[in-house]
Amino acid sequence: MTETFSNVYDDADRARAYAELEFPGTYYLAFRDIPALLRKHVRGTRALDFGCGTGRSTRFLRDLAFEAVGVDVSELMLEQARGRDPQGDYRLVADGTLAPFGTGTLDLVLAAFTFDNIPTDREKTSALRELRRLLVTPGGRLLAVVSSPAIYCHEWASFSTRDYPDNRAARDGDAVRIVMLDVPDRRPVIDVLCSDTRYRELFEAAGLRVVDAVRPLATGAEPVQWVSETRIPPWTLYVLGAA
């Protein structure tokens, strides 16, 4: 599946819809284990939210007592973030460069779903190397929350893929489509498939090592009508440090 990718979130209607999200349904599982992981692996409070979108994850970090700056490539998403959080620090990185941030100055970088939308291995590796540069040595950590390939082949409390059977044949680097059910904008989101094996290759190429990895499942006790979440992990959370 060869396709030209663009930032699907750089769209006014989608930005408004995404800004309404907090942590419903399947998204809850992406964030549920983050506080425990940060307590276990992170020392210090200086944080960057890489690909912050409308600021949901930046506010999440700040609620955990981190001094968080949010950056994104979409000004439309950042406008929503600033409108909802006027006191927050949200910055545009139009070309993806993080040059204004000093080497070895951050205790934590969070990238929640950001790598789902970076199209090529080359661009992913370049971003990972730049994020590694920002981390305090030793001890700085990059937490990458990514979509499992399985999320594009099943039905979920917050997502549907039934209209996109071609997802099942997708390989690393291919376009995959998924519909968000928690927002009124039901246009499919176009992501880029990346397997665990490929991610680990990219981490190694960028000089990063996997310190911890979590694939969260629902327990069944949550007040949510789960679909696949008790059986199949929709997300992977990688805690990374400098190799």
Q: What is the pLDDT of residues 95-126, one digit of tens each?
A: 768 999 999 999 999 999 999 999 999 999 99
pLDDT above 90 for 10: no
Whole-structure pTM over 0.85, yes or no? yes
Q: Where are the domains of the chain?
A: 12-148+195-242
At 7 the pLDDT is 63
Q: What is the mean pLDDT of the chain?
A: 94
Residue 117: partners with Cβ closer than 8 Å, 6 or more residues away? 5, 7, 8, 9, 51, 191, 192
Asked whether 76 and 88 are in contact (CB, 8 A), the reply is no
- 12-148+195-242, what's its fold? Rossmann fold (3.40.50)
Least confident of 3-17, 19-33, 206-220: 3-17
Q: Distance between CA atoms of 155 and 65, rounded to whole angstroms?
A: 35
pLDDT above 90 for 79: yes
At 21 the pLDDT is 79
